[in-house]
Amino acid sequence: MTTPPASASPDTRPGTPRDTPGDTPGENRLLEHIEQRTRALFATRPDVPVGPGDDCAVIRTPAGDDLLITVDQLVAGVHFDPATTSPDQIARKAVARSVSDIAAMGGSCWLATATALLPQGYADAQELFDRVHAHAEAFGCPVVGGDIASGPSSPLTLTVTVLGRPHPARGVVRRSGAKPGDRVYVTGRLGGSLASGRHLRFEPRLHEARWLCDTLGDRLHAMIDLSDGLGLDADRLARASGADLELDAAVIPQHADCPGWRAAMSDGEDYELLFTCDPDATLPDRCPGPDADTPGPSLRWIGRVLEPRDTRAPHARVVDEKGEQRPVRHMGFEHA
């Protein structure tokens, strides 16, 4: 891998893309509140090894097997334009978002459920559900149940829950395992997902996550999928791990249509994998593809994990083109 140098435009969808420090974002504040309220409950539940605060919860069956479970919503006007997005595109994105969470934990898909809140008189309901079933089966998690509701002024909303299984050898990969000294890597390229339409056709990195688990084993320490933006999600990984992440703006991989590193960090909905691993791990410049004719995404070393400057507030930061360090917690998309 290329060694990072020593030094090191928000999209227009509804929400709050930011790249400047300020108060704790509303969505982050709500997530932290939920985690704090449930932490004590799950501390006494050996059948829930991982509760809120990661890409998936982990449930332990009476037989001792661990299952991954995740749920995600897709809302018209927030995650897609209902006037220009086909039922097939809507269905695929709804399923793929939850599948990406399974990938972030190093898992494989098993089963799914799907619920829908439909606008009254929605004409494409049958096609939509046919495509949900087809895409879920293609990802290895056939739909086994769900629910339907309708309302006169409701935006089309799809909610997909996916159950999965951890990697059989590596086990669950959490976002809380980054260690000082680790290198920080990202798969693929970032930025411009909404404007380009890539947010409707991204490929969840299931194959790449399995390959990383196979290749690195216990040297793969932490992983998260980039749904809300590299900046915001890197900060989530840092806080969960109790360590600082320092990223180098000069080496962040960008799509050709991305206007710069700030957009690459802030736009969101890239659904690539951000992970940390032992500094002595050797990785190629590209993940292997699913077959000989299909190249995999690039792999880029973009930063390092450090001891936290403040143990009460571990965070991620980026070294910009002037060599200045900038916090990244507000570089991302927020719903609240």
Query: Quick check: is 28 in a domain?
Result: no
Claim to verify: residue 158 and residue 177 sit in the same structural domain = no
Please report which confidence band the pLDDT of residue 26 belongs to, taking 50, 70 and 90 as the band edges: low
Specify if 270 maps to a domain. Answer: yes
In terms of domains, do 156 and 194 share one?
A: no
So what's the pLDDT on residue 5?
A: 37
Instruction: Name the percent of the chain in helix, strand, coil, to the closest 5.
Output: 25, 30, 45
- 21 located within any domain: no
pLDDT at 13 over 60: no
pLDDT at 18: 39
Same structural domain, 196 and 110: no
Q: What is the CATH number of the domain that holds 66?
A: 3.30.1330.10
Q: Can you count the helices (H) and strands (E) in the chain?
A: 7, 12
Domain ends where: 165, 193, 210?
Answer: 165
pLDDT for 292 equals 79
Residues 182 and 295 in one domain: yes
CATH code for the domain of 235: 3.90.650.10
Residues 146, 211, single domain; the answer is: no
pLDDT tens-digit readout, 278-324: 999 999 999 999 887 888 999 999 999 999 999 999 999 999 999 99
CB distance 102 to 164 below 8 Å? yes
User: Which residue, 31, 104, 5, 1, is CA-closest to 318?
Assistant: 5
Q: Mean pLDDT, to the nearest integer, of 218-227?
A: 98
CB count within 10 Å of CB 282 equals: 8
Whether residue 72 is found in the same domain as residue 153: yes
From 116, 131, 165, give the residue that closes a domain: 165
10 assigned to some structural domain: no
- Total domains present in the chain: 2
Provide the residue count of the chain.
336
Distances in whole angstroms, Cα of residue 246 to Cα of each of 228, 266, 323: 18, 16, 12
Q: What per-residue confidence (pLDDT) applies to 24?
A: 44
Residue 17 lies in a domain: no
Which candidate, 332, 260, 327, places its Cα nearest to that of 16?
A: 332
Q: Looking at 118, 144, 165, which one is the last position of a domain?
A: 165
> Considering the domain boundaries, does residue 200 fall inside one?
yes
Q: Between residues 213 and 26, which one has the greater pLDDT?
A: 213
First to last CA, the chain: 38
Residues 150 and 239 grouped into a single domain? no
pLDDT band at 333 (very low <50, low <70, confident <90, very high): low
Residue ranges making up the domain that contains 218: 173-327
**Whether residue 66 has pLDDT greater than 50:** yes
Choose the weakest-confidence range: 6-10, 107-111, 172-176, 293-297. 6-10
The pLDDT score that the predictor gives to residue 154 is: 87
Min mean pLDDT across 15-24, 70-79, 184-193, 225-234 is at 15-24
- Token duo for residue 242: 């109790």
The tens digit of pLDDT for each residue in 236-285 reads 999 999 999 999 999 999 999 999 999 999 999 999 999 999 999 999 99
8 Å CB contact between 103 and 208 = yes
Residues of the chain above pLDDT 90, percent: 80
Q: What percentage of the chain has pLDDT greater than the value 70?
A: 90
Answer yes or no: do 213 and 308 share one domain. yes
Residue 226 has pLDDT above 60, yes or no: yes
User: Does residue 51 lie within any of the structural domains?
Assistant: yes
Asked if residue 11 has pLDDT above 60, the reply is: no
Same domain assignment for residues 209 and 300: yes
Within this chain, do residues 82 and 103 fall inside the same structural domain, yes or no?
yes
Residue 13 lies in a domain: no
SS3 at position 87: helix
> Is the pLDDT at 164 greater than 70, yes or no?
yes
- Give the pLDDT of residue 42: 73
Q: Are residues 250 and 318 in the same domain?
A: yes
Mean pLDDT of the residues in the chain? 90
* 196 and 317 part of one domain: yes
